[in-house]
Amino acid sequence: MSKEKLFAWLDENEDFLRDMAHKIWECPEVGLAEEYAAELQQKALKDAGFEMTTGVGDQPTAFVAEYGSGRPILGILGEYDALPGLSQKVTAEREPVEKGAPGHGCGHNLLGVAGVGAALAIKEAIDAGEIRGTVRYYGCPAEETLVGKVFMARDGVFDDLDACLTWHPMSSNNVWAASSLAMNSIVFHFTGTPAHAAAAPHMGRGALDGVELMNVGANYLREHMIDQARIHYAITDGGGEPNIVPPTAAVWYYIRSPERDEVEELLERLKKIAEGATMMTETEVEWEFLAACFNTLPNDALGEVILRNMQEAGPPAFTEEDIAFAEELVGTFSKGQKRSVMKGLGAPDAIIEKDLHDEVAETIYDKGHILPGSTDVGDVSWIVPLAQFTTATWPVGTASHSWQATAASGSGMGYKAMQLAAKTLAGSLYDLYHDEDTIKAAWAEFEEATKDRKYESPLPEGAKPPFHQLKH
C-alpha cells in the first residue's frame, strides 16, 4: 500500500470521518466529561481491530488504542473536549445553538477525528504488509484545562514511544515549530468569619476581602516578572448575600512562563501574596493544586517530515462557499484583530493578507517563537520526540476560543482542513516507519534539548484529576 493509496483510502473514507467530527461538534462536552466523543472514537477503532486500554490516568474518558506489533512504536495524540459558553451555529453572527452551552471553539471535534483517520489508514498499510511496527492513538481528555495528558504521562503510557505526532486546528497550513508556555493551575481558598454586614461588621473577617487583596497584589506582581510570563485569575466563590460578611471565598489562578522553573518561582511569590492578604484581613488561606504542564519542545527532524507530507497532500480543497463564509467571519473581527492574532503566531504577511489560507507554507516560519498559550502536549514532548502542525480550519486571524472558531469548526472549511490533517499525519507516519535514520536524528535532537533538564511530573504526589471543576 503506497502513500498515494494511503491518501486515497482517506479520501474514500472522508464522509465517515466528517460524520464523526460533525457528531462531536453537535454534542460538545467539556473536559473530563467527553463520554460521547470518547465512545464514538473508541468504537471506530475497536471495529477496526485495535486493542483498547481505557480509564488511563484515572480519567474515564482517556484511552489508548493500539494496532500492530514490534518497533517502531509511533503515536498520535487526539483531543475532543469543548469549551464552556461557546455554543454557536454555523453562521457569521453570534447565535448560540443553546445559550450558555459549550462549543468547539478550539476545533477539538476535528483534532481527534483526524488522528483516528490516520491511525485507521496506517492499520490498512500494516495489514497490506507495507509497514512493520505499532501505531497508537491516544484519546486525550481535558486539554483545555491542561489536565489529560499530564495525568496520562504520570501513568507512563508515552514512555516507550519512538516518536509522536499531533496537530491543531488554526488559521494556516504549516508546521508548528513554536514553543508554548509552561503553566500551573491552582485555586486559593480563603476562610474568614461571618457576621451581619450592617449590624456587626466589626465582628466579621471577610474571606472575599482576602481574595480581592490577593488579586491586587498579583496585579502589582505583573510589573516584576518577565514579559512573556502571564498571571490571570477568576473568582469562583465570591461569598453569598451582601448583608453577610463572606466566610468563604476562592480565586482560581493560571500562572504561565516559558520554562517550568519560572512558573514554580512565580507560584512561590504568589503564595506569599496570598499569605500577606490573610495578614491584612485576619483570614486564612489554603491552596488547591489542580493541574500543571510543561512548555513544548519542537523537533526539527520530525517537523521536516511533516512539512514534506503536508506539501505532498496539498492544501484543503476549499469551495467558493467556504471562501465566502470565511470572508463573512473575517468581517465580524474587531479592528486590528487579524494582524494581532497572526503576528502572535509568528505568521508572515503573505498569510495575513489572505482571508482563508489556501496554500501550504513553503518553510517552517515560527521556529524560536514562544506562543502566549499553554498545552499539555508539552509534557509529551519532554518524554518522546514530538512534532505538530496546524491546518487552515478557520479564517486567517480567527481568535482561538471564540464563537467564530466554533462556527468554522462545524463548517465545510473545517472538515476539509481536517482531511489535510489526517493525510499529513498518515503520510508522515508512513515515512517514519520506513526511515529509521530520521527517528534516530529526532532522538539525537531530543536528547540534546533535554540533556540538562529531564521530565518529572509536575503533579504533586497523590494528585487526582479535578472532576469537581467540571462546572467551570
Domains and CATH numbers, the chain: 3-180+295-449 (3.40.630.10), 182-293 (3.30.70.360)
Length of the chain: 472
Cα gap 3→127, rounded to integer Å: 14
Helices 412-433, 300-313: crossing angle, 10 deg rounding? 120
Residue ranges in the chain modelled with pLDDT below 70: 469-472
Sign of CA dihedral 354, 360, 361, 364: positive
Chain segment 226-266, per-residue pLDDT in tens: 999 999 999 999 998 999 999 999 999 999 999 999 999 99
Q: Could you give the C-alpha distances from 153 to 34, 127, 464, 467, in angstroms and in order?
A: 19, 30, 13, 18
Chain segment 34-51, per-residue pLDDT in tens: 999 999 999 999 999 999
Quote the percentage of the chain above a pLDDT of 90. 93
pTM of the model: 0.95
- Alpha helices (H) in 13-73, listed in sequence order: 14-26, 35-47
Chain segment 364-375, per-residue pLDDT in tens: 888 889 988 999
Residue given cell 486515497 in the structure block = 8
Q: What is the reported pLDDT for 365?
A: 87
Cβ atoms of 385 and 91 within 8 Å: the answer is no
List of residues 6+ apart from 127 with CB closer than 8 A: none
Element of type H or E holding 185: strand 182-191
N-term to C-term CA, the chain: 46
* Bridge partner residues of 196 (DSSP): 244
Chain segment 289-303, per-residue pLDDT in tens: 999 999 999 999 999
Beta strands in 3-159, from DSSP E residues, in sequence order: 51-54, 63-68, 73-79, 134-140
Cα gap 425→115, rounded to integer Å: 7
Nearest to 79 by CA among 10, 124, 145, 160: 145
Sheet holding 73-79, edge to edge: 51-54, 63-68, 134-140, 73-79, 163-170, 386-392, 174-176
Helices 108-127, 3-12: crossing angle, 10 deg rounding? 130
Please tell me whether the peptide bond between 72 and the residue prior to it is cis, using omega within 30 degrees of 0.
yes
Q: What is the reported pLDDT for 472?
A: 45
Q: Could you give the C-alpha distances from 164 to 201, 320, 321, 433, in angstroms and in order?
A: 59, 35, 35, 12
Cβ atoms of 316 and 356 within 8 Å: the answer is no
